[in-house]
Structure 1
Amino acid sequence: MRDAEHTSRPSTGWAEQKRTLRQHYQQIRSQLTMDARHAAEVSIALHLVGLFHEFREQGKVHKRSVALYRAHRGEVDVMDAADALRRASWKTGFPVTHPETRTIAFREADERTSWVKGAYGIWEPVSTQPWMADGELFAVVVPGLAFTKDGGRLGYGGGYYDRLFERLSGDVLRIGVAYAAQLADWLPLQPHDVRMHFVVTEEGVVSCGLAALY
C-alpha cells in the first residue's frame, strides 16, 4: 500500500527528496516476504510475456531482441519471463556494467550461458557471449526502486539507465518492472528524466501515456 506522506511534493531539494524516497522504497521492498515475492514474480512474468505477445499479435514487432536484467538487492526476478520470451523466439540480453564510464551495454544470454559477478556484485554473462547492439533492441526491461503510473522512475542514483536511454533510438520500448508496492503517486522528476512506456507489476500492465507507437 502506498503511503500518503509520499503523495505530496516536499519542499526540500531534489537530491534530498530522492535520497529519502530511495530509503523509503528500499524499506518497503525489503519487507515483502519470500512467498509474496514469488507469487508476484509469477504474475509479473505472465503480464510481461503477455505484453510482448500482444505486440506480436498486433504486428508491432519490428525487432526481436529484448534487454532484461539480473535481479539484485531485492529487485523483481525476471528470469522466468526471459525463458518464456526465448521460447517465443526472442533474443535476450543482460547488462554488463562499466563503472569507469558509468554506462551499461548488453551481452546475449540464454539458458546455457555461464555467469560471472561484475560491478556491484551483479551477475553478468561471461565475456565470450556476443554483444547485443543497441540497434537490435526492440525493448529494454528496466528495474527501479519506484515508478509512477505516468512512467516516472526512481533509480539508485548512478545514472546508468539515464545514459542508456540517451544513447538509444527513440523507438526502443521502455518497460519498468516492480512490485505493486513500489508504485508511487508522485516522484521528484525533472523535465529531462526519461519516462517508461509501460510499467508491469503483479497487478497488471500500466500504459504510461507514451505508447502511441505500440
Structure 2
Amino acid sequence: MSGEHDSSGRSSGFSSPPCYASEIAPDYFDPMAVDDDQARDVARWRNAERNRLRAERQELSVADRKRIELELRNRLRQLLRDQFGGARGKVFSAYWPIKGEPDLRPLMAELHEAGVKVALPLVEIKAAPLVFRRWKPGMRMVRGDWNIPVPPQDAPKVTPDIALAPLVGWTADNYRLGYGGGYFDRTLAALEPRPFVIGIGFEAARLETIYPQPHDIPLNIVLTEVGCRFEEMNA
C-alpha cells in the first residue's frame, strides 16, 4: 500500500492500513478504512514480520555480519560528510545495538573524536517521547529500559539534529518497521524542529509495504549495506 498522495502525486507520509492486508494488492489505499479491526489485522501482520526478519538477521554468519557492518559504517560516514560536512558540532543520535542490529559503535567513537556531539536515546517515562543524553567513549553506562545500556542521569540532555533509526524492516518509500512500542514515531512527532532521520538496516529486510497507519512517519533516508534511498519529498 502506498501512502496518501497530494495533487502532485507525491506521498504525504500518512495513510491507513487495509483490513486483511495480505489478501489485497500492495498499492491499495482506502482513506476511509481506519477502524479497530484493521488496526488489529495490521498489528498481527507486523508482529509476524518482525519475528521473521529478526530470526533471519540472527542467522547471519559472523563473517557476513562483520562485512555488512563495515559497509554500513563506511556509507554512513560518507553520508554525513556529503550531507552535513561531517556533522562536526551537530548533535548526532545513534543507538546501542541489541537483538542483532548493526553495530556502529566504532563509528560513534570516531565521530566523537571528530567533534560530533554523539547522543543515545533512552526511555525515562513509559509511553512518552524518548530523551536524548550525550555519550562519550568509555563513559559509565547504566541499564535502561529492556536492559539496554544508556548514559547516566548526569549526562547532559540534548536535542538531535541527526538521528539514526535501527530498522527491523523497511520499505522503498522509507517507512520503518520497528519493535512495535511506538516510541520512535512518538518522539519524532514531538521534536521541533524534527531531526534528519536515517534508517539503518539490512538490505534483506526490505518489505513491499508496512501498511502505514496515520501515526507512522517516513524517514528522510534509508541506508543499507548496498546504498541509500532518500524520502521522496526530499529527493
Q: Please give the TM-score of this superposition, normalised by the length of structure 2.
A: 0.78
C-alpha distance in structure 1 between counterparts of 2:90 and 2:85, whole Å? 14
Quote the residue 2:6 is aligned against. none
Confirm or deny that 1:10 pairs with 2:17: no
Quote the residue 1:3 is aligned against. none
Pairwise CA distance, 1:54:
0.4
Confirm or deny that 1:24 pairs with 2:47: no
Q: Please give the TM-score of this superposition, normalised by the length of structure 1.
A: 0.85
Pairwise CA distance, 1:144:
2.1
Q: Does the 8 A contact of 2:198 with 2:220 survive in 1?
A: yes
Q: Does the 8 A contact of 1:92 with 1:110 survive in 2?
A: yes
Quote the residue 1:35 is aligned against. 63
With a CA cutoff of 8 Å and minimum separation of 6, indicate the structure with the bigger relative contact order. Answer: 1
Q: Mind listing any 5+ residue stretches in structure 1 that lack a counterpart?
A: 1-8
Pairwise CA distance, 1:177:
0.3
Confirm or deny that 1:98 pairs with 2:124: yes
Quote the residue 2:17 is aligned against. none
C-alpha distance in structure 1 between counterparts of 2:188 and 2:88, whole Å? 19
Confirm or deny that 1:55 pairs with 2:83: yes
- The runs of at least 4 aligned residues of structure 1 exceeding 6 Å deviation read none
1:151-179 alpha-carbon deviations (Å, 9 max, x no partner): 11011111110110111125410110011
1:139-160 alpha-carbon deviations (Å, 9 max, x no partner): 1101121011211101111111
Pairwise CA distance, 1:102:
4.0
Pick from 196, 207, 224 the counterpart of residue 173 of structure 1: 196
Q: Does the 8 A contact of 2:127 with 2:183 survive in 1?
A: no
Confirm or deny that 1:88 pairs with 2:114: yes
For 1:39-188, list aligned pairs within 5 A. Answer: 39-57=67-85, 64-132=90-158, 134=159, 137-188=160-211
Cα RMSD (Å):
2.1
| 1:166 maps to amino acid | A
Identical columns (%): 25
**Larger proportion of strand:** 1
C-alpha distance in structure 1 between counterparts of 2:106 and 2:206, whole Å? 22
Q: Does the 8 A contact of 2:129 with 2:187 survive in 1?
A: yes
Pairwise CA distance, 1:63:
6.5
1:169-213 alpha-carbon deviations (Å, 9 max, x no partner): 25410110011111222222124310011111111222222325x
Quote the residue 2:230 is aligned against. 207
1:68-117 alpha-carbon deviations (Å, 9 max, x no partner): 11001111112122122223321000012135344321110111311122
| 2:213 maps to amino acid | Q
Closer, same or farther: CA 42–104 of 1 in aligned 2, 3 Å: same
